[in-house]
Structure 1
Amino acid sequence: MPQGGEEPMKKSLFFAALAAVSLAGCAGGAQDKEYNDLAAQAENEIKLANKTGFLWRDTEKFLKESKEAKEAGDTEKAMKLAQKALKQAQLAQQQAKDNANPRTMFSN
């Protein structure tokens, strides 16, 4: 027979564990959305960089590896690689702009 305080404690532990699992599920959903948004943004920036003719060599590779990491369950690695692809695509676009209006600098 259970002691006087055991039954309420079991219920409390059960509900605490249930709450923890529920919150972990919510966090995973938020991470998925954050990753999906980041990957979509990177894809769009890559398309723009490609149109300029200045897309960097490894940018698409980083996005591909990011998707593979996400499928393997490594969200942290996936986020880092997607962020790297996004940054490279943006820098490639800036490089295209900089090269569109070159300035010759003369020193005295």
Structure 2
Amino acid sequence: MKLTKYAKYLGVAALAIGLATGCQSSGNMNKSNASDQAVQKIISDAKAELKIAKKGNYAWRDTGKFIKKAEKALAAGDTKKATSLATKALEQSKMAKLQSVEQAKAVKARFN
């Protein structure tokens, strides 16, 4: 279980570094526009992951709230807060998916 935890954090860190690098290398785009697009990408990824988690009935309670708050923060121009909330929502969605897989394994092992 510890390996899964560290892999999750490594994935989030890689995503953050990739987004930061991508935003810096876009010379033609406005910095604000590029970061807004990066946040919007995280939000859309979080929504997609949440949809998958909901199909497995393992969606976490606050994930949708974080997505809505991230969208409001982005609309208000607070990119830093929007990024934080969107990343948290994405992380929770991925963990909910992992939880559904782990629970399925546990049930299968117990009843087989």
Q: Is the shorter-chain TM-score for this pair beyond 0.5, marking a shared fold?
A: yes
Indicate the percent of aligned positions where both proteins have the same amino acid. Answer: 37
Partner of 1:28: 32
User: 1:84, CA displacement in angstroms?
Assistant: 0.3
Structure 2 unaligned residues grouped into runs of 5+: 1-26
Please tell me whether residue 69 in structure 1 is matched to residue 73 in structure 2. Answer: yes
Partner of 1:82: 86
User: 1:32, CA displacement in angstroms?
Assistant: 1.4
Please tell me whether residue 93 in structure 1 is matched to residue 82 in structure 2. Answer: no
TM-score, normalization by structure 1: 0.71
User: 1:62, CA displacement in angstroms?
Assistant: 0.4
Partner of 1:51: 55
**Rg comparison, structure with higher value:** 1
Secondary structure of the 2:30 match is helix
User: 1:33, CA displacement in angstroms?
Assistant: 1.2
Structure 1 unaligned residues grouped into runs of 5+: 1-22
Aligned residues: 81
TM-score, normalization by structure 2: 0.68
